[in-house]
Amino acid sequence: MPSPPGERSPVLAAGAVLWRRSPQGDGLEIALIRRPRYDDWSHPKGKLKRGEDWAAAALREVREETGMECVLGTPLPTARYVVEGRPKEVRYWTAEAVSGTFAVNDEVDRLIWLPPAAARDRLTYEHDRPLVDALLRAVHPGAAHRR
């Protein structure tokens, strides 16, 4: 549905909170990406292509930005905020990494795996932080209290 006259249509994007079991065997780790263009740390996400559904966009963006193949899980809260005067809506999922290797690309120069508390602290944007707790509730109920 088009936006009313004078109102800008929202940017539609999809992404994931990418996670894996810790190689040390003590819980899970969350992947964060650094985008040099914005000098920020965030979850992988990106704009939907014309005709692309939300879940397909989330899988594509994770693959493009992190090099990881993943399995989407539980939908997470949708983030809504304004960027440069335009509303943005980002739908997120939990996504377990199953294979892949990160390589620097046009959008992302670093990927780090961190325990949930460290990931929450490293995230640049406040609206990204509640997604860490939502992931913990979805993947490991009862773990969200461990900060």
Q: Distance between CA 28 and CA 24 in Å, rounded?
A: 9
Is residue 67 in some structural domain?
Answer: yes
For residue 114, being part of any structural domain is answered with yes
pLDDT in tens, the chain (147 residues): 555 555 678 999 999 999 999 988 889 999 999 999 999 999 999 999 999 999 999 999 999 999 999 999 999 999 999 988 999 999 999 999 999 999 999 999 999 999 999 999 999 999 999 999 999 999 876 554 444
Other beta carbons within 10 Å of 104 = 11
Which CATH number do you get for residue 44?
3.90.79.10
Does some domain include residue 89? Answer: yes
Is position 6 within any domain?
no
Would you state the structure tokens that stand for residue 12, as one six-digit string? 């539609």
Contact at 8 Å (CB) between 32 and 65?
A: no
* Model pLDDT for residues 55-91, shown as the tens digit of each residue: 999 999 999 999 999 999 999 999 999 988 999 999 9
Domain assignment present for 145: no
The boundaries of the domain holding residue 83 are 11-139
Per DSSP bridges, beta strands 28-35 and 110-114 are antiparallel
Count structural domains, the chain: 1
The whole-model pTM stands at 0.89
| 26 located within any domain | yes
Let me know if residue 97 belongs to a domain. yes
The DSSP result for the chain, as a single string, is -PPPTT-PPPEEEEEEEEEEE-TTSSSEEEEEEEETTTTEEE--EEEPPTT--HHHHHHHHHHHHH-EEEEEEEEEEEEEEEETTEEEEEEEEEEEEEEE-----SS-SEEEEE-HHHHHHH-S-GGGHHHHHHHHHHHSTT-TT--
Amino acid at 85: G
